[in-house]
Homo-oligomer: A and B are copies of this chain.
Amino acid sequence: MEGGGEKFKKAQRAMKDRSALAYLNDASIITRLKDLKYYQKTMKNDPWIRIIAPEITPPTLRDNTADVDRLIRGIKKCLHIDEVVIDFSLLKRLPHALRQYDYRINAILHKVQTGWRLIDILSSQNDSCIYGLAVDLGSSTVVIQLVDLKSQKTIDKKSFHNPQIEIGTDILTRIHFAAKRGGLDKLQSLLMERLNENIDQLAKMHNIRTDSIVGISVAGNTTMAHFFLGMDPYWLCREPYIPVINKPEHIKSSDLGLAINPEAPVLVFPNVGSYFGGDLIAGILASGITHQDKVSFLVDVGTNAEVVIGNCDWLMGCAGAAGPALEGGVADMGMMAGPGVIDKVVIDPVSSEFKIRTIENDPTVGICGSGLIDLIAQLFLAGMIDLRGKYVAGKCNGRLVEVEGVKHLVVVTPANSGTGQALTLSQTDIDGIIRSKAAMYTILTTITNTVNISMNDINKFYIAGTFGSYIDPQSAITIGMMPDLPLETYIPLGNTSLKGAGMALVSAQAKDEIYRIRDNITYLELNVNQEFMNLFSAAKFIPHTDSALFPSAKTGGS
């Protein structure tokens, strides 16, 4: 650890919880948000998957109603409803189960359009615990969360790398692979097998039968949702960028080969389009912006920059993958978060010493996105790069080296590195970051211009995603990536994809809301926006050509 003072070490210990796997524990982040109280309250009493104990009298000569119809009658009476749907796959098993349990049963059901659909029946003598899974279906990392559907409490979480990475780290490679013979099946089965393994491990660890997992809620980007469903992603990346489906419905776990209760409903978050997926719908749900009068931003700085603006009356969204400057993406700048990865940099204004924090305080092996933003901001403030992001050789204290004609700044020397190699930041890297930050700011400006709202009217700036959670808003403002708003405006939400999936798993109101969000959002197609390229050019300076936009920004040391 270079230049670690006592104060910094204390902060670093406090931050240790926010280590590589800390993003799994984002509940603490979410629950401290006042805006989300709405959900906390309503979710408690509004489940769409329920276990009930209907009263079913055994048959007699005077009441010869058939077994299935007898069960349906009991459920209707118990729930005060008009329709109970039972799939054929479940029907045949029912009479034996009813008699085996002597007509004393618990019934597990979930709400459908006009009534409730039966998932399973259990003996009323048995443990009546039922569980659900919320899934954040990331293209890099998949997180599964086991939820007790009765108490609505999270029991455990588990994350694993998306096994499709072996086909390709980027999603486009996978889409091309899917077009090959058997490719799509391979991608789907890789995912399902790993998912099932992890579900099984989670179930075993908590001593529950996978059959008692009776619902699953899955949020992911549109391509991942297509892979999950085994649907052809071919047209997702080809103009005019059309998904197979926007609102996947009527799916049960056995349709997909999920190793949970075969009749369990599978809620796959709807998408708005190829580049605006269910993960972002989950983010909007989790952020609560649709329940606020004032206008907020929700930004997910992942592989793409996805931006939503709106309030309880309207919503507009766009996704950065449609913006040419974001090709290659922010995430290409460094490594994914993990032990030894730099996530915070401070350059001492006096000594020009680099104070570097790595995750879990391990020897430095790389730098993640939030670390890069810090680094660029600090380099600018120290005058080591200029307004255009170019290295100022005289300010770099001999840290600059030239490799194949490109300037590189040595951030960590081989002696201090965990890899034995120097960690360097090239001019090309910086140029990439500048393009990305310019794209982000341009998207934010384009969307506010489109809806005719001033940046100063933004009440909250929610930052979704693991990567986003670690961004220091001050650094992001310094480089002109995010608007110059009071720091308290910025609220990191952590893994909103998982949080949204969890909310929709336990609350009918939340589940209904994701479809309302989807149907009401206006998608701003950046590809066809003429203003974008002009704004983009102006945003390629640090912080911006128009310094009036960043009144609080410190100037660089140049």
Q: Which residues does A use to contact B, with CB under 8 Å?
A: 59-62, 64-69, 83, 85-89, 91-92, 94-96, 113-114, 229-232, 235, 239-252, 255, 271, 273-274, 523, 525, 527-528
In whole angstroms, what is the CA distance A242 to B64 when docked?
6
Q: Which residues of B lie under 8 Å from residue A527 when comparing CB positions?
A: 61
A113 CA to B114 CA, complexed, in Å? 8
Within the complex, the shortest CB–CB distance from A161 to chain B, in Å, comes to 26
Q: How far is the CB of A138 from chain B (nearest CB, A)?
A: 21
| Listed residue (A68, A271, A274) with the most chain B CB atoms within 10 angstroms of its CB | A68
Known: A89-B255, A92-B230, A255-B89. A64 touches B250 (CB 8 A): no
6 closest residue pairs by CB, A with B: A66-B243, A68-B245, A66-B246, A69-B246, A88-B255, A61-B240
Q: Which of B59, B94, B242 contacts A67 (CB 8 A)?
A: B242
Q: How far is the CB of A105 from chain B (nearest CB, A)?
A: 16
Collect the chain B residues with CB atoms within 8 Å of residue A274's CB: 64
Min CB distance, A155 to chain B, in Å? 28
**A64:B523 contact, CB within 8 angstroms:** yes
A91 close to B241 (CB less than 8 A): no
- Contact yes or no, B87 A243, CB < 8 A: no
**The one of B59, B229, B525 that contacts A240, using a Cβ cutoff of 8 Å:** B59
Copies of this chain per assembly: 2
Most buried by B among A230, A244, A250: A244
Q: CB-CB < 8 A to A231: which residues of B?
A: 91-92, 95
Q: Would A66 and B113 count as touching, CB distance under 8 A? A: no
Known: A64-B274, A86-B250, A113-B113. 13 other contacts (CB 8 A): A61-B525, A64-B240, A66-B245, A66-B273, A69-B245, A83-B113, A86-B249, A88-B251, A89-B255, A91-B231, A91-B244, A92-B244, A114-B114
16 A-B pairs within 8 Å (CB atoms) are namely A61-B239, A64-B240, A66-B242, A66-B243, A66-B245, A66-B271, A67-B243, A67-B244, A68-B245, A68-B246, A69-B247, A86-B250, A88-B255, A92-B231, A92-B244, A113-B113
For A87, the chain B residues whose CB sits under 8 A away are: 250
Docked Cα-Cα span, A87 to B89, in Å, equals: 14
Determine how close the nearest CB of chain B comes to the CB of A524; give it in whole angstroms: 12
A67: chain B residues within 8 A (beta carbon): 235, 242-245
- A115 shortest CB reach to chain B, Å: 8
Quick one: closest B residue to A271, CB to CB?
B66
Closest residue of chain B to A70 (Cβ to Cβ) is: B242
C-alpha gap A62/B527 in the complex (Å):
11
A243 CB contacts on chain B under 8 angstroms: 66-67
A256 nearest CB neighbor, chain B only: B88
For A273, what are the chain B residues with a Cβ–Cβ distance below 8 Å?
64, 66
User: CA–CA, A87 to B254, complex, Å?
Assistant: 13
A65 touches B251 (CB 8 A): no
Complex: A352 Cα to B113 Cα, angstroms: 72
CB neighbours (8 Å) of A232 from chain B are 92, 95-96
> Closest chain B residue to A88 by CB distance?
B255
